[in-house]
Amino acid sequence: MDLKTLLSTKGLKSTKQRDVIIQEFLKLKEHVNIDALYQKVKAKHPTIGYATVYRTMKLLKECGMASERHFGTRQALYEPHHETAHHDHLICVKCNKIIEFENEKIEKLQDVIAKKYGFRLESHKHELYGTCSQCKK
């Protein structure tokens, strides 16, 4: 199902602004903050406002197309949401590089922990902070 169809099933409208934001968002590989995304979008659609970017990202979150992250800071970072394989993050405290990782064993251990405390798990965050190989030098 494409975005336009998805929006219309929710009684929402497809607009030029939304198209550009989503296009630019999906194009980016790294985790992006609102400000950087706003700059990218502004280049294609100069009259766009900050609020529209915020509102669109909120919409994408709710549609399950984007995930919001807070790597220790107040500021939110966004990434496209992958339904399939969940991944977690290694963050370099020196250069802020972000590397994604997946670990099946950890995922399973999480289920064990949740069960032990009677939780029904919905999501998780696992972030490892340290110094990357380049910054160690």
Q: Which residues make up the interface to DNA (CB under 7 A)?
A: 4, 7-8, 11-18, 33-35, 45, 47-52, 54-56, 58, 73-76
**How far from 63 is each of 7, 28, 59, 99, CA to CA, in Å?**
9, 19, 6, 25
SS3 80: strand
> Is 110 a binder of a copy of itself (CB under 8 A)?
yes
Q: Which is nearer to DNA, 71 or 88 (CB)?
A: 71
121, 107 in Cβ contact below 8 A?
A: no
* Contact region with a copy of itself (CB under 8 A), list: 2-10, 11-19, 23-31, 65-73: 65-73
Say how far apart CA 111 and CA 107 lie, in whole Å: 7
Smallest gap from Cβ 87 to a copy of itself, in A, equals: 11
Q: Which residue matches tokens 């394989």?
A: 85
Choose the one of DNA, a copy of itself, none that binds residue 106, judging by a C-beta under 5 to 8 angstroms depending on kind: a copy of itself
Smallest gap from Cβ 85 to a copy of itself, in A, equals: 15
> Is 26 a binder of a copy of itself (CB under 8 A)?
no
Cβ count within 10 A of residue 41: 21
